[in-house]
Amino acid sequence: MSDELSTSSAIAAKSFPTSEQIAKAKALNKKGLHLQAWKVVSDCADFRTWPSGESRRLAASFANRLGSSRWSDVLDWRNWRAQPENPEWFFQAQFVRLGQGRWWEAFQATRARLEAGVESPKLRADMMALLGWLHGRWRDFDRAFPLLEQAIASDESRSWPFVEKASVLQIADRREEAVEVIEHALTLYPNYRPAAVLRVELLQELRREEEAEEYLRALHRETENPTYAARLHILHAERDDWRRALDYLDDYENLSPLLDRTGKEWLAARRADLYLEGVTSSASSPVPRRLAR
């Protein structure tokens, strides 16, 4: 990794998150208040050094939500490799495989894990939903939908299987049904990012652009997630509404305290585009500085 971890002496001077801090941060994350959650643990040791288990899973979730998806993948993978028998860490590691295009590996590993037995109804539901989603991506709907219904029946309180079902309905060009399913998912877990992002996409595909934009603005107001700021930035840039595009780009930066190199390069490129349109921010240099190597 090009990122340098904190030195041993600096790490030793700070502690890892306590169980109380972890619980408080997770509760705030669930509400979408990611910056407030980060403040709970920001004085702890470098998040990349947190020990395996709940601490490292929390670190990965912060990285994913606050601008460093690469470190999110690294930490989730390390967490599973450190505790390979833990079914939750195993499940999170499959998304690393998916992100790398290793869909068949993720499918085989998840199917084998389910066949070996998973005690938790929550994790069993999530794993079946993942298998159903993969069948859907391969347009094998005859297998996808029964698996998704099994996942939902396994734990009807879980939002994730409904999100996966809505995604497969989208793939099958059944968008009206997908909207109904995703809205139910959001009643189970309000402002859940995967569900919220999918609802925005579905509304746009159904040409309900005003409703989609209004919903996106509400998400941006009510949560602390850079995803929505980035989408609103792109939306206004496509309309040549450069001033509002800049406002949302500033929001994106402010909501991304863990922004990695890729994110910084994207941010600099977007600021350069705005600069060429004659729009600059008083809080930053008119010309984006070259990123340090």
Per-residue confidence band for 213, with pLDDT thresholds at 50, 70 and 90 = very high
Q: Is 281 left (phi over 0), alpha (psi -120 to 50) or beta?
A: beta
Give the percent of the chain with pLDDT over 70: 91
| Helices and strands in the chain, H and E counts | 16, 0
| pLDDT attached to residue 292 | 28
Window from 130-134, 247-251, 262-266, 273-277 with minimum mean pLDDT:
273-277
Q: What dihedral angle (degrees, nearest 10) is formed by the CA atoms of 222, 227, 232, 237?
A: 160
- pLDDT surpasses 80 at 268: yes
Please tell me the distance from the alpha carbon of residue 25 to that of residue 47, in angstroms, as a whole number. 13
- pLDDT surpasses 90 at 67: yes
- pLDDT surpasses 90 at 283: no
Q: What residue has token string 């938790």?
A: 120
Per-residue confidence band for 286, with pLDDT thresholds at 50, 70 and 90 = very low
Average pLDDT over residues 123-127: 95
